[in-house]
Amino acid sequence: MTYFGDLQAAGRSASPRVYYFVIVCLLSYIILDFVLHHSGTSQCADLVFDAAKAKAERAERRSDAIDAMKEDLICGSVIGHLNSGPKLPVAKAWNQMKWIGAPARCKVKGHLIESLDEMNNFRRGFALKFVGDVEDKTMILPWLYGSKVDLNKRARRVYLDLGANDFHTSVQWFSRMYPCDFTEVHAFEVTPGLFRIPKPGFNEDTNWSPENPHSIRVKQQPQVPDWMVDRIKLYNTYVSDADGDNAINITKFIKQELKLTADDAVVVKMDIEGAEWPILQRWLLDPEMAEIIDELFVEIHYRHNTMLDFHWGQFSHSREEATRLIASLRAKGYFIHAWP
């Protein structure tokens, strides 16, 4: 009895830390035994690998986020859109082999767009003799915004041709080549009689040909159908940045006359012999216009000795200024191309 009494007395006098220590040792033994005898080495390795993988993924996400922030800062600036040419080793392909221009470093509206090819006067195909037409538009086709975003989902789809010239110059090209069915076409041509709306009369239904071994589906090349003719409206007036005699303030016309908004599909082509400069400089300061216009095609006129054969010696701005203007508009969110 004395032995057991002494043992109980010793237990009562033991520090609580001793109990905690014993409990920790037992738990550690149980965990170690489970890992060594009840969990295979492959499972342990998997746990370690998964932990390392998760850590690497977190680091990669942080790195991607930092890179994205840097890219946003670069592409939100004019410099980012000026320094848009391809880098080695792919740059060699765009020395002379490629007809189509290289993709720019910075996206616009979240989509790829062509790099600015000022050394070829924005006419790569003509400069490299792939085509004999200085107004060839092949290099634009891969970069159309309408091929990246379905503009046909919008109820109102408007094409404005500023400096339309003849019907076959650009209105017909956009009607046939641009992947959007325009519900309205507004053509501006100051010279009376130059732009002629096609006469109604072409019938698509009667132009179909029966199937044949030649794989020809129509009797004649399709012309502009009646329903398309009805959508074209002609304005024999100057396009300007301000109101004036026989001139229309195009910014006010778009916002107030047509009442176009960001909910509409709006494509603008501009070729107005130098009058584009004050308009585009105004649009640089107008974020609402960047929201309204989905895609912009502009022939920006400048003075350079490589364009003197085309009577461009009359213009005062330089080619470098023209390139910077396009880059500035892209930095502001305009999906803009140099129109040949």
Both 64 and 92 in a single domain?
Answer: no
Residues 15 and 153 in one domain: no
State the pLDDT at residue 280: 98
Does this model's pTM top 0.85? My answer is no
For residues 107 and 194, membership in a common domain is answered with: yes
Show which of 22, 45, 72 is a domain's final residue. 72
Structural domain span for residue 261:
86-338
Are 41 and 94 in the same domain?
A: no
Maximum pairwise Cα distance, the chain: 129
**Sorting pLDDT into bands at 50, 70 and 90, what band is 4?**
very low
pLDDT-based confidence at residue 5 (cuts at 50, 70, 90):
low
Let me know if residue 78 belongs to a domain.
Answer: no
Give 80-122 as a DSSP string. HHHS-S--TTGGGGGTTT-SSPPBPSS-BTTB--BPP-GGGTT
Same-domain check for residues 109 and 176:
yes
Residue 77 lies in a domain: no
Same domain, 98 and 203: yes
Residue 8 has which token pair? Answer: 């109980």
* pLDDT above 90 coverage of the chain, percent: 69
- 185 contacts 292 by C-beta, under 8 angstroms: no
Report which secondary-structure segment, H or E, holds 64.
helix 41-75
Domain shared by 101 and 10, yes or no:
no
Q: Domain boundary at 72, 105, 124, which?
A: 72
Task: Give the model confidence (pLDDT) of 154-191 as tens digits.
Answer: 999 999 999 999 999 999 999 999 999 999 999 999 99
Question: What is the tally of structural domains in the chain?
Answer: 2
Helix (H) or strand (E) holding 323, with range, is helix 319-331
- Mean pLDDT over 66-75 rounds to 68
Residue 165 shares a structural domain with residue 246 = yes
Residue 81 domain flag: no
Classify residue 305: in a domain, yes or no.
yes
Q: Which long-range contacts (CB under 8 A, 24 or more apart) does 78-87 make?
A: 78/324, 78/327, 78/328, 78/331, 80/105, 80/106, 80/331, 81/106, 81/116, 81/326, 81/327, 81/328, 81/330, 81/331, 82/116, 82/323, 82/324, 82/327, 84/115, 84/116, 84/327, 85/115, 85/116, 86/115
The answer to whether residue 79 sits within a structural domain is no
Residue with tokens 């912009």: 296
Q: Is residue 308 in a domain?
A: yes
Burial 15-29 (b: 16+ CB within 10 A, else e): eeeeeeeeeeeeeee
| Boundary (domain end) residue, out of 19, 38, 72 | 72
More confident residue, 224 or 263: 263
- State the chain's mean pLDDT as an integer: 88
- Same structural domain, 44 and 146: no
pLDDT classification of 64: cutoffs 50, 70, 90: low
pLDDT of residue 161: 99
* Most confident by average pLDDT, 14-23, 37-46, 220-229: 220-229
Question: What local confidence, expressed as pLDDT, does residue 27 receive?
Answer: 73
Indicate whether 168 belongs to any domain: yes
Residues 63 and 148 in one domain: no
The amino acid that residue 310 corresponds to is F
Tell me, yes or no, whether 64 lies in a domain.
Answer: yes
165 and 235 together in one domain: yes
Residue 177 and residue 59 share a domain: no
C-alpha span between 37 and 35 (Å, rounded): 6
